[in-house]
Amino acid sequence: MEHFALWLSAFLTLGILSFLYKDNPWYKLSEAIFVGISAGFWVVTLFWDNLVGKFWDGWQDEPMLFVGAALGFLMLLRLVPKIGWISRWPLAFIVGATSGLWLMNYLASNIMVQVMATIQPLFSTGYASGFDAGWGAIISSLVIVVGTFTGLVYFFFSKEHKGAFGGAARVGIFFIMITFGASFGYTVMSRMSLLIGRMDFLLGDWLGMIG
Amino acid sequence: MRQEIPLLITAIVGIGFVIQYFIPHWPFSRMSDWFSDWFSIVGACAIILGALNLMKVSIEKTYKRKEDWGYAAVIIASFLLMTIIGIAEGRGFRNPGTSFDWLYNFVYIPLSATMFAILAFFVASASYRAFRARNFEATLLLIAAFFVMIGRVPVGHTLSSFMPIGWQLSDLASWVMTVPQAAGQRAIMIGIGLGIVSTSLRIILGLERAHIGGGK
Amino acid sequence: MSLPLAATHPRLSVHLFFPIIVIVLTTCSSAFGQSDTQLDTTVVDDTVSIAAAPVTTLLVEDGKYDDGDSLRLFWVPSIDDQLIDSKVTGYRVYRLVNDGAAEPIVDLLPGVGNYTDKNVELDSSYVYYVATLTESGEYPSIHTESISPQREWINFRRGYLFIIMMIISAAIIFYVETAKRGKKLFVRKIAGLEAIDEAVGRATEMGRPVLFIPGISDMDDVQTLAALTILGRVSRTIADYDSKIFMPVSRSLVMTAARETIKTSYQAAGRPDAYNDDMVNYVTDEQFGYVAAVDGLMVREKPATVFLLGAFFAESLILAETGNSIGAIQIAGTARPAQLPFFIAACDFTLIGEELFAASAYLSGEPRMLGSLKGQDVGKAIAMITILLGVVAVTLSEAWGVGIMTDLHAWLVKVFSSS
Amino acid sequence: MSTRAKELIALGAITLFALVFYFGKIWGWGTFEFPTWLSMVVIVLIGLSLLWVLILTLKGQLIERRVVFIYVAFAVALPLFMSFSQKITISPEVYQLHNALTELPAGSKVLISFDYDPPSAPELQPMAESIIRVCFEKDLKVIVMGLWPQGPQQANLALEKVFEDSAILAKNLQYGRDYVNLGFQTGNEFVIQRMGSSFESMFPSDYEGTPYREIPLVRNVRNFSNVDFSVNLSAGFPGTVEWVQIAVDRYGLLMGAGNTAVQAPVMYAYLNAGQLEGLLGGMSGAAEFEAVAGYRAKGTKFMLSQSFAHVVVIAFIIIGNVAFFRSGRKSKLKGK
């Protein structure tokens, strides 16, 4: 069984990799297995964790769970074409709740916290802040302020990017591009790590060529 | 009516969830907890719709012997296999040693990890083909990427070991990450925050309504 | 970054200053004759016994702005709680519920001077005391007064946040109303959005379908909602042009919502008969299973135009590169900064962050929708002014100690940390 | 020869290769390691072939995607057979996390949330292993949980790995007293929010089904205020962003994070704002942490492949750009 398991894993791994060459039956087979198995995985997981684990085990302690069950039931009415339109209600509910919830969360966490974090002294003579008043540090803090400020200018919708405003927006896009470059560099690293993990499986676990 | 009720629900629920942020008193204090529970229950019900849809499409394809119908049959078989085993295993379906766990470890994981790893190849081909210094902005992107990529691996250290401490490639990489990168990131995050506030508000006010079937 | 210092600093100060405070306080309390018998067990000379002084000035208060579910305890740590060679191994908080028996509720580390009990009920009354733990035993403090938790209706700590929210919301609503009254509002061009009609038109000419991917998040992500609002406009164009659209999705709820969206657009275009449910199909919730399937679909169906709008994770580049390899025009957008560089590299047009959320308003061309973008700009202006003001204030105050600037900075900190 | 025949030959070759080495493994061939001269030859060959690609590209012949793919495959696979030692420079945010952990008094409780699944394991698993190891060495108590369904399984794998070390094994750590795996709970960010008031409500029992109250380690842990430090290992949503927004911002939890390299740039904003106490980014973060802690584990070993891959990607960017400038910036431009 152990041999079979390893070979099966390797077969599927190579099947997916074969897509790099071109679309082919090996890939199509792996893809079909993947779609079927993973859809099944999620059906089973959601069934046991959410329906049974959350609702069935919990409704005695928390009767409000029935609201969720009711919304879920209304959702399932889609299966009855005549009254399928009722499923818009739970959808409307979810859309409303998501909007309200994230409106506040993003306002508090993204906007407020990030604005606050940008408010740092450019330089300081006091010891108390622990701030090093070297030129490098001053330049760095200036760059952060300028970058954040001009980046926001770039996103302004109600003014055309012209003149001084356009200049600021251009500086802003420079910073955004640097951000993307850094993200890209970091991502390359991450993606390569994944491939290393797979190679470690193929050459190590499967074929036993490396330690 | 079919349009007004969903809009009304969205508006009331949306405003309720904004208000709950400021009211610690029951029941407002519990609202976000409840919503998380409700959402997971609705999600679990909705996946039935999804699974039925997947089955319907695949069965149709197999039955009508459309192109590639064999693969559709494989989808049906593997879906049923995983679902039946998982439901039959009972609550402990995830425990080590179950058939579900076996399928998970030897089928699901290799497939998922390999699909993820394919990215490494695409990253390289995109680098070769698309990352061109065609203007100043693109050049900046490339330079930043270069410093981060080279500065984050030991090779970078070897290449720049003659430089004074603080000016080596790894230091430059750190500086790029913590200063200009963070600044750009912040602008993007604040912008996104405002975008979400505005979009949410449009939805709550009923200006956006297509997704609940209430177009003009 | 002054890492090690920041990490140790607070604890250091606790251990330097608390003994002094404790000495002052214990002296005061004994001077006023409030010292209680338990103080007798305190043996200050630690060579004699391992006994330790109990904590002093133990206070309990109702947790502010909560649902009556917390009580907060403060105390001054034992005088024997030292940084080096401490006899104190920790503190144990005891609780008496409704005058019942005392039971321990939590053990805390040395140096800790407060605890929030979040396991309390509204109608009960609570009495606490804190025992100092040593190797040899426990040395309890005096009991607190009996207290019952209170619930509050409004969280005043978030008052400023409320005001900021109201200002931004009011600005958005104000501009929406202004626009409704027919005032023309200018909104700059967004390149990716200008291209949508053209991209759909191209698909029509080539007789190939349009592929729309709404990201892989569920309906509880605003990015997905934004993607669906854009889908509303795009599918309207598709209905008008009589192109074909197909949309594999990875969440069942998104499938349902997307079907409603497209159906509505087709109805609005006056072609309800051209709509059918097969335009939107669920594949699987699994991220890469979904990607494997979509990749296969792309290669086999060869869409002329691909929209990648919504919340994308690692799959962004797989999708975008495959789309690129089949020569499709690609319009992408997401609010996940880590994925944007890949979209920029592999797609023809990319909506960056906030532009994704602005898209549906922009595409609608309706004045009131454009008004909401104006309102958003007010928020940005507030953020920018605050940053400038704050940086100037804190710099002047830190470097030259300008008093008014210190006050201004303190006020800004208060306002912007009210979340 | 037709394409079909070539494809079949390639397929046959792969199968043969696999069979030979698989049986080799069974017969006990052991592992392979290139001698230094061979490693050098390989490196030179890769370098020369890249030069050849450059020449081709300069001549105006863009090489095919698949050739690029082959380079990547070799750049990652071959270094796994090599054994160079390389110096690792440690970033301040890695020190910060290590310090935060090692400065905790013995007996402190550390909450580690495993918010990732097997595909991200190459990056996050080495981090998990060395973080848990540092905790055990410093006699910290470890509470493990997951917001991703597969998280707790990864945690168990990491724990198993850590216990392979005899020094740790000698400590005779006991499940339930020194470490515990609370398992997975659905609800994403809302789980964090509710843990703010009660852990037990979210984890009525642990991974093995023992009721929460019966586990000595967590019996008195009611919410975040009873946890001294936490580490979040995250590969996406829900992950560090949610932990910071809820547990750190609202409940004042002290938290360090290990992220996939992709997530990490976003986290620097939180790191600078003081919302994070240290950060490990990607495999290099893992290797750096191993270096600080004085281990030599997988993170360090994989870094050589990582370096190679980076060099190849950079080489391709440079080649692409050289060709672009040679052709007078006229080659087909893709929109911004």
pLDDT band at C380 (very low <50, low <70, confident <90, very high): very high
More confident site: B92 or B89: B89
Chain B residues with CB-CB distance to A6 below 8 A: 106
Partners of C306 in the β-ladder = C211, C330
Closest CA to C221 of A106, B191, A35, D149: A106
Query: What Cα–Cα distance (Å) separates residue B43 from each residue in A54, A78, C4?
Result: 12, 14, 45
Is residue C17 located within the same domain as residue C130? Answer: yes
More confident site: C110 or B9: B9
Is residue D25 located within the same domain as residue D157? Answer: no
In a domain, B187, yes or no: no
pLDDT value at residue D330: 52
- By Cβ distance, the residue of D14, D264, D274 closest to A186 is D264
**Across chain D, what does the average pLDDT equal?**
86
User: Would you call B162 exposed, middle or buried from its count of C-beta atoms within 10 A (0-12, 13-18, 19+)?
Assistant: exposed
Q: Whole-angstrom Cα distance, residue B10 to residue B23?
A: 20
Chain C residues with CB-CB distance to D93 below 8 A: 1
Structure tokens at C330: 């690609």
Q: Flag if B47 and C252 touch (Cβ within 8 Å).
A: yes
pLDDT value at residue B165: 64
Average pLDDT score over residue span D182-206: 82
Is residue D131 located within the same domain as residue D250? Answer: yes
Chain C residues with CB-CB distance to A97 below 8 A: 220
- Is the distance from CB of A184 to CB of B141 less than 8 angstroms? yes
Closest CA to C79 of C139, C130, C13, C20: C20
Average pLDDT score over residue span C313-325: 91
DSSP symbol at D12: H
**Across chain C, what does the average pLDDT equal?**
83
Average pLDDT score over residue span D233-249: 87
- By Cβ distance, the residue of D266, D314, D320 closest to B129 is D320
The whole domain housing B105 covers: 95-127
Is residue C336 located within the same domain as residue C210? Answer: yes
- Is the distance from CB of C86 to CB of C110 less than 8 angstroms? yes
CATH number assigned to the domain comprising residue D211: 3.40.50
Closest CA to D333 of B135, B189, A2: B135
- Residue A100: helix, strand or coil by DSSP? helix
Partners of C352 in the β-ladder = C334
- Is the distance from CB of C233 to CB of C364 less than 8 angstroms? yes
pLDDT value at residue C84: 61
Query: What Cα–Cα distance (Å) separates residue C13 from each residue in B110, C16, C23?
Result: 53, 5, 16
* Identity at D287, one-letter amino acid code: A
pLDDT value at residue D62: 79
- Is the distance from CB of C398 to CB of A121 less than 8 angstroms? yes
Torsion angles phi and psi, residue C215, rounded to 5: 80, 180
pLDDT value at residue A136: 74
More confident site: A211 or B115: B115
In a domain, C313, yes or no: yes
pLDDT value at residue B128: 85
Torsion angles phi and psi, residue C304, rounded to 5: -85, -25
Query: What Cα–Cα distance (Å) separates residue A2 from each residue in A144, B102, C185?
Result: 55, 11, 68
Crossing angle for the helix pair A163-199 and B136-151, to the nearest 10 degrees? 40
Number of Cβ pairs < 8 A linking chain B and chain D:
134
Length of chain B: 216
Is residue B116 located within the same domain as residue B67? Answer: no
Beta strands across the sheet bearing C280-282: C280-282, C245-249, C210-215, C305-311, C329-334, C349-352
Give yes or no for residue D300 having a pLDDT over 50.
yes
End-to-end CA distance of chain C: 25
Structure tokens at A202: 């193929």
CATH number assigned to the domain comprising residue C304: 3.40.50
- By Cβ distance, the residue of A21, A192, A197 closest to D309 is A192
Is residue D39 located within the same domain as residue D152? Answer: no
> What's the structural domain count of chain C?
2
In a domain, B191, yes or no: no
Is residue D235 located within the same domain as residue D307? Answer: no
Is residue B55 located within the same domain as residue B24? Answer: yes
Is residue B60 located within the same domain as residue B27? Answer: yes
pLDDT value at residue A188: 78
Does residue B121 belong to the interface with chain D, where contact is any CB pair within 8 Å?
Answer: yes
> What's the structural domain count of chain D?
2
Give yes or no for residue C7 having a pLDDT over 50.
no
Structure tokens at B155: 């090779």
Give yes or no for residue A172 having a pLDDT over 80.
yes
The whole domain housing C61 covers: 10-140
Average pLDDT score over residue span C347-351: 91
pLDDT value at residue C5: 36
DSSP states along chain B = -TTHHHHHHHHHHHHHHHHTTT--STTGGGHHHHHHHHHHHHHHHHHHHHHHHHHHHHHHHHHTT-TTHHHHHHHHHHHHHHHHHHHHHGGGGGSTTSHHHHHIIIIIHHHHHHHHHHHHHHHHHHHHHT----SHHHHHHHHHHHHHHHHTSHHHHHHTTTSPTTSSHHHHHHHHHHTHHHHHHHHHHHHHHHHHHHHHHHHHTTS--GGGT---
Positive or negative CA dihedral for B110, B113, B118, B121?
negative
DSSP symbol at C53: P
Closest CA to A101 of C357, B31, B122: B31
Closest CA to C249 of C286, C204, C222: C286
Is residue C201 located within the same domain as residue C342? Answer: yes
In a domain, C170, yes or no: no
Please report which helix (H) or strand (E) contains residue D176, including its range.
Answer: none
Is residue B81 located within the same domain as residue B59? Answer: yes
Is residue B37 located within the same domain as residue B110? Answer: no
Q: pTM of this prediction?
A: 0.81
- Residue D29: helix, strand or coil by DSSP? coil
Give yes or no for residue A9 having a pLDDT over 90.
yes
Give residue D21's Cα distance to chain centre.
28
pLDDT value at residue A194: 81
- Is the distance from CB of C45 to CB of C130 less than 8 angstroms? no
In a domain, D153, yes or no: yes
Is residue D149 located within the same domain as residue D292? Answer: yes
Question: Which residue, among C9, C173, C184, C188, would best test binding to A if mutated, counting the most A CBs under 10 Å from its CB?
Answer: C188
CATH number assigned to the domain comprising residue C58: 2.60.40.10
pLDDT band at A134 (very low <50, low <70, confident <90, very high): low
Neighbours of chain C (3+ CB pairs under 8 A): A, B, D
pLDDT value at residue C94: 93
In a domain, D334, yes or no: no
| Tens digits of residue pLDDT in C20-58 | 444 444 444 444 434 343 434 444 444 445 678 888 889
Is residue C131 located within the same domain as residue C212? Answer: no
Average pLDDT score over residue span A12-40: 94
CB atoms within 10 A of CB C133: 20
| Tens digits of residue pLDDT in D2-40 | 888 999 999 999 999 999 999 988 888 888 888 888 988
Q: Whole-angstrom Cα distance, residue D194 to residue C118?
A: 12
Question: Which residue, among A196, A198, A201, A205, would best test binding to D if mutated, counting the most D CBs under 10 Å from its CB?
Answer: A196
* Identity at B191, one-letter amino acid code: G
Average pLDDT score over residue span B145-154: 78
Give yes or no for residue A126 having a pLDDT over 70.
no
Cis? peptide before A25, omega within 30° of 0: no
Does residue C6 belong to the interface with chain A, where contact is any CB pair within 8 Å?
Answer: yes
ipTM of the complex: 0.81
Q: Flag if D69 and A20 touch (Cβ within 8 Å).
A: yes
> What's the structural domain count of chain B?
2
Closest CA of chain A from C13, distance in Å = 14
Give yes or no for residue C369 having a pLDDT over 70.
yes
Strands (E), C48-110: 56-62, 71-76, 88-97, 102-108
Is residue D147 located within the same domain as residue D44? Answer: no
In a domain, D35, yes or no: yes
pLDDT value at residue A103: 92
Does residue D100 belong to the interface with chain C, where contact is any CB pair within 8 Å?
Answer: yes
In a domain, B161, yes or no: no
Structure tokens at B22: 């400021």
Average pLDDT score over residue span C142-154: 88
Name the H helices within A47-112.
Answer: 57-58, 65-76, 88-106
Structure tokens at B195: 């975008």
Chain C stretch 367-386, residues whose beta carbon is closer than 8 A to a beta carbon of chain B? 368-369, 372-373, 375-376, 379-380, 383
Is residue D171 located within the same domain as residue D79? Answer: no
Q: Whole-angstrom Cα distance, residue D52 to residue D75?
A: 16
Chain B residues with CB-CB distance to A194 below 8 A: 113, 116-117, 119-120
Q: Whole-angstrom Cα distance, residue C97 to residue C116?
A: 16
* Identity at B149, one-letter amino acid code: M
- Which of B38-42, B55-59, D321-325 shows the lowest mean pLDDT across its residues? D321-325
The whole domain housing D146 covers: 92-296
Give yes or no for residue C81 having a pLDDT over 60.
yes
State which of C331, C347, C363 marks the end of a domain. Answer: C347
Cis? peptide before D238, omega within 30° of 0: yes
- Residue C91: helix, strand or coil by DSSP? strand
End-to-end CA distance of chain D: 42
- Is the distance from CB of A169 to CB of A155 less than 8 angstroms? no
Q: Whole-angstrom Cα distance, residue C63 to residue C45?
A: 38
Query: What Cα–Cα distance (Å) separates residue B110 from each residue in A5, A187, B116, D233?
Result: 11, 21, 10, 21
Strands (E), C294-367: 305-311, 329-334, 349-352
